[in-house]
Structure 1
Amino acid sequence: MSNRMENFVVSARKYRPLQFEDVVGQASITDTLEHAIGNNQLAQALLFCGPRGVGKTTCARILARKINEENNQIDEENQDFAFNIFELDAASNNSVDDIRSLIDQVRFAPQVGKYKVYIIDEVHMLSQAAFNAFLKTLEEPPAHAIFILATTEKHKIIPTILSRCQIYDFKRISINDIKLHLENIARQEDVEYEEDALHLIAQKADGALRDALSIFDRMVTFTSGKLTLEKVAENLNVLDYEYYFKITDAALKNEIPNLMLQFNDILNKGFDAHLFISGLGGHFRDLLVAKIPQTIDLLEVGENTKIKYLDQAQRCDSQFLIDAIEICNTADIHYKTSKNARLTVEIALMQLGSLTAENSIDKKKSLG
């Protein structure tokens, strides 16, 4: 057991891409970089911007290896050293002295390979003096030097640095791309999974593949290698879709007492009432999207859950869904300023339960 613990490598490191074609969700950038290398048109100063966990440092390392690939005579253990890759974390090396010592190194040509590649991560953390010391070298670098700067906060970088770099904007990775990547890893790791469970992990990651892989590792440990939607939702503290389906069914049948009891049950399980009401609004939006054939692609859920949405959407009137979205949105807006937040949500549920009542002329009048 201890041996397994020693050898455990988190998925984000174990499955870090080593080739551009393996990078997930950044095809336009990886294609551009490959063409630039192939046509010998690579700028000497590149700036990779974008949210965390989307592949900036990974692409920087692949690029650094690619441009010195013709000298690939060294075993993989010493690969980074052999390819003259120097990484600097600007978050902890942000003083003018750190940049001056980097500039001193840059003057010397590489002993092996054609280029020395300097990857400066979190470059927005450099001090103003460090930025200024870096300007001249960045504008006129030696022929053997290539700088790759990476940042999550492009707006913090001074314009004089931006104008000297070729800028690549990395985008958030789509839920579907993350889910497909997780499926591939799950198969390699012999992990049993429900597709909807991986979909939920991908949603929770919010476009960051590294976050998705971190959650995936945690869920595999928690579920002992059997990822089910129920278990993943429980561990991520996400309300299972089933709650929203039940609430909607109760609202369609005007079962106000049932709505109140279900809401109480949700609160007793430790879920936040504000997240519940905003999530319920999202559920009604998804039902509306599922109701119209042209917009079904906007429904970002797993296949099994999609079938449930399509089924329930057929039982809901479009006007009911529009009114329900409005009620949830109003409760969401008023929640923080309310003296009695629970009552705000309960009133919204009563209004939802009255929408299809025969005597409901206006959704805000009689609660039926």
Structure 2
Amino acid sequence: MRSGLADRETFADEIEDDPFDDVPGDRLLTGLRGKDVLLVFVESYGRTATRGSSYSPGVVDVLRAGTERLAAAGYATRSAYLTSPTFGGASWLAHATAQSGLWVDSEGRYRQLQDSDRLSLTSAFARAGWRTVFDVPANTEDWPEGAAYYGFDEIYDSRNVGYAGPEFGYAPVPDQYTLEHFRREELAPRDRRPVMAEIDLISSHHPWTPPPPLVPWDEVGDGSVFAGTTEDAEPVDQEADPERARELYGRSIQYSWETLVSFLETYPDPDRVLIVLGDHEPWSWVSGDPDYAGGRDVPITVIAQDPAVVRRVADWDWSPGLLPPADAPVWPMSDLRDRVLTAFGPRG
């Protein structure tokens, strides 16, 4: 167990030891110039969703079908696993770990990072000329510490996206509306800079309820189309009824992926790149003890239409498709930032 003061000093040294700190913007992310880059977190999407659980067969079917559908639409997909610093909750620690390239596994480390000027993926893209956006539909109040650290140009939360539909369990905004609103505001306008965004898909956040149905994308509107579907279902108590919780958790992951695949089919773009990953496993009543079940691993997938993007990550040895095999590479989540900045930096 780390002592608080000793860890604070250790982490301060780690924050300062940054090989990318002084890299000028014109030397960052040159392999992604002109592309919209979406870092998409799927809430509570862990390894157990892909294998070894009562709910994994349904998720596997969706991932395999989604791989075929995306391939037919011209997308390449590569997948592996990351080890998350958290389990069952505290998603912000995982997000900060992926963004900063540091192991953020405590509230103390999180606060220390937020008070620093450590380069995040978001700030690296901003330095390189991208418009930067956070889409965090779970937020219901201002987030000044996030604005100070990440320095994004725009933030969307549950209060400013014009959503007029019902809530579904925890999620004040369902995933389909989150993606459609983001498209309308950030991807559809012409004569704009490329966008880098962190988008949080939260329909799979506990406590789980039946997810809403997918509707045609041109009918999403202000979200009122979702009224009268599944919003009246009571959230399941995962401790009291873990079997029902596991069922609804699996359905929620299927919904998030079906929504994302449908979005990419409906709105294809050769100049769009997605990095889609889980933040952590769901609570142990659903996923099992991390020491004996899926551990802390979460799936991660790169999705792109441009073959040059896939060539840039060839030496990662990730597997084709949305479903990583059991023996796929496993990195600490803190490796992601440096891997992205290196793979898509200048060559030769």
Task: Give the TM-score, by structure 2 length.
Answer: 0.24
Higher relative contact order (CA 8 A, sep 6+): 2
Max Rg structure: 1
Higher helix share: 1
Q: TM-score, normalised by structure 1?
A: 0.23
Structure with higher strand content: 2
